[in-house]
A and B are shown apart, each in its own frame.
Chain A
Amino acid sequence: MTFLFDLFAQAAQMALVLALAPVLIGFTRKVKARLLRRRGPPLLQPWYDLIRLLRKDVVLAHDASWLYRAAPYLIFSTTWVAASLVPTFATGLMFGWIADLIALTALLGAARFFLALAGMDVGTSFGGIGSSRETMFGSLAEPATIMIAFIVSLIAGSTQLSEVAAYMASDFALRVSVLFALIGLIIVAIAENGRIPVDNPATHLELTMVHEAMILEYSGRHLAIIEMASALKLLLYVSLIGCIFFPFGIAPPDGSLADMGYGVAFYVVKIFVAGFLLALFEVSTAKMRIFRVSDFLGAALMLGLLGTLLVFVTRSL
């Protein structure tokens, strides 16, 4: 019986992240529009867009190889797996033991690899630009992520997200290194998801785009799946920040159904707060030059290094 319950909880989490990801995007867009005194599209607009795209035909370039057709599914599946491994409303889920910070980084790295390959596959110049920029950002963001993972795992004594979340929820203390890790992870999340200071998700201006440049040639269901994957990636980072740094109300490993209900409620609130803050941040900053991004991400790497140093300082006191 417990086996069935565990399976159900895991399946619920997979469905939950899938359902919530476009809503988060829609909510961010709505808040941004309201802050600019416009009305904005409805909250579920990303879902409507996805459904519309799914019904349309795929237009393929003549030069597209099998990789081009396979890439959306690979990107989507790796991102979905990663997103459903992060503890959102409960720790100690059935597959929680795979939810390792290093494994998550690797899964996202694989998704990025396929996305960059697909961008170059058709042979248009925009795709190449996008891929080269994405790889540059990735090569800077990944060491930062790993350093942040080190901080967190040095404090919690494990790289498994379930255990980290459980530790952070049980042992509340103010730590400098955790603060540094939080800021670093926010910077990485902004850069990885192509949000405003790094890349503008709403533009198709060729000089600035990164993510959009790589998927410019996609259409129909392929585009829908890639859009879904990028929505999932944003949700993944939000829930990662939520479960490591703000693990309030998260259900314990052998939690009852009521605990999980509370967990879901808290999780949804966290998601909406994060979406609101993201929108606020995006409205109040301007996009930076592409050559400034390396400094921006370098700051995240530096925060990771500083935080790791400080963990040892705190230990020695």
Chain B
Amino acid sequence: MQEHLSLDIAQLLAGGLVLVSFMLLYQDRLTGLINIFALHALVLTLSVAWQAHVQNAAHLYVTAAIALVFKAIVIPYSLHKIVKALRVHRTVEVVGGIGATMLVGMFLMGLSLVVMLPATTTADPFAREDLAFALTIVLLGMLMMVTRRNAVSQIIGFMSLENGLVLAAAGANGMPLVVEISVAFSILIAFIVIGIFLFRIRERFDTVDLYELDRVRGERR
């Protein structure tokens, strides 16, 4: 019973993370998008902390703390500042058909379940469902980067993709702490670099809509 309940809670949190990923796909306002990204990181924190509790692994608590501090607080806060500074905080992004994107997302989820569940039959149930959900989150993050035009929401897609990687690492039972910390910091560095790039793009083109880059390169759409 206890075993069953803890598996249920782990699945609830991982499934909730997938749900928040879909909410990211659904949202088309930048401010709302950043808030939902903070929620995404919060659910990730809970999920990793629960894994730490179940596996009795103290170093996973560190991962959870990193996720909470950097991804749920620092990055959303600075994204809000960036969006304010770029003066795009009222922008409603043009997304080509939310319904179609959601359907593709559904397809990706089905795909990752079909791939992951037979491939990991020997692993323990915790790792199995975490891996399947993590692959879904990674694919949804990629989908978001592909379908969005605005550079800020592409960053958010990238960050949510990384959350999926952390979920997979937490479920896989035994990722060294050094690796986790270095991954977390490389994400932070990537975030800073992307932030600087954003301002550069805006300086050049007066917009953060990446479709403008096609025009500059001389590509026809």
Contacts and interface: CB of A to CB of B under 8 A. Distances in A.
A128 B16 CA distance: 41
Contacts of B18: 306
Contacts of A173: 4-5, 8
B188 interface: no
B16 A302 contact: no
Main secondary structure of the interface of A (DSSP, over half): helix
Contact of A298 (B102, B113, B125, B132): B102
Given A313-B129, A316-B117, A302 B106 contact: yes
Contact of A176 (B15, B26, B106, B128): B15
Contacts of A294: 99
B193 to A, nearest CB: 34
B98 A175 contact: no
Contacts of A4: none
A305 B106 contact: yes
Contact of B26 (A175, A299, A310): A299
A294 B100 CA distance: 12
B207 interface: no
Contacts of B35: none
A313 B98 contact: no
Interface string A165-176: 000000001111
Contacts of A306: 18-19, 22, 106, 109
A176 B132 CA distance: 14
Given A176-B11, A298-B98, A302-B103, 9 more contacts: A174-B5, A175-B11, A177-B15, A179-B12, A298-B99, A302-B22, A305-B106, A317-B125, A317-B128
Contacts of A299: 22, 26, 102
B7 interface: yes
B16 A176 contact: yes
A295 interface: yes
Q: Which 6 A-B pairs have the closest CB atoms?
A: A176-B15, A174-B8, A317-B125, A298-B99, A295-B98, A174-B12
A70 interface: no
Interface in B10-51: 11-12, 14-16, 18-19, 22, 26
Nearest to A310: B15
Contacts of A316: 117
A15 to B, nearest CB: 39
A4 B36 CA distance: 55
A180 interface: yes
A174 B9 contact: yes
Nearest to B97: A295
Interface in A258-309: 294-295, 298-299, 302-303, 305-306, 309
B12 A176 contact: yes
Nearest to A314: B11
How many residues of B sit at the interface, in one of the four size bands?
20 to 34
Interface of A: 173-177, 179-180, 183, 294-295, 298-299, 302-303, 305-306, 309-310, 313-314, 316-317
Given A174-B9, A295-B26, A299-B26, A313 B113 contact: yes
B174 interface: no
Interface in B112-141: 113, 117, 125, 128-129, 132
30 contacts: A173-B5, A173-B8, A174-B8, A174-B11, A174-B12, A176-B11, A176-B15, A176-B16, A180-B15, A180-B19, A294-B99, A295-B26, A295-B98, A295-B99, A298-B102, A299-B26, A299-B102, A302-B102, A302-B103, A302-B105, A302-B106, A306-B19, A306-B22, A306-B106, A306-B109, A309-B110, A310-B15, A313-B113, A313-B129, A317-B129
A273 to B, nearest CB: 22
B5 A313 contact: no
Contacts of B117: 313, 316
A306 to B, nearest CB: 7
A262 B125 CA distance: 40
Contacts of B7: 317
A179 B16 contact: yes
Contacts of B12: 174-176, 179
Among A175, A180, A299: residue with most chain B CB under 10 A: A299
A174 B129 CA distance: 15
Nearest to B110: A309
A316 B11 CA distance: 13
A174 B7 CA distance: 9
A316 B109 CA distance: 16
A221 B106 CA distance: 47
A237 B105 CA distance: 29
A294 B103 CA distance: 13
Contacts of B5: 173-174
Interface-central residue, A177, A309, A310, by most chain B CB under 10 Å: A310
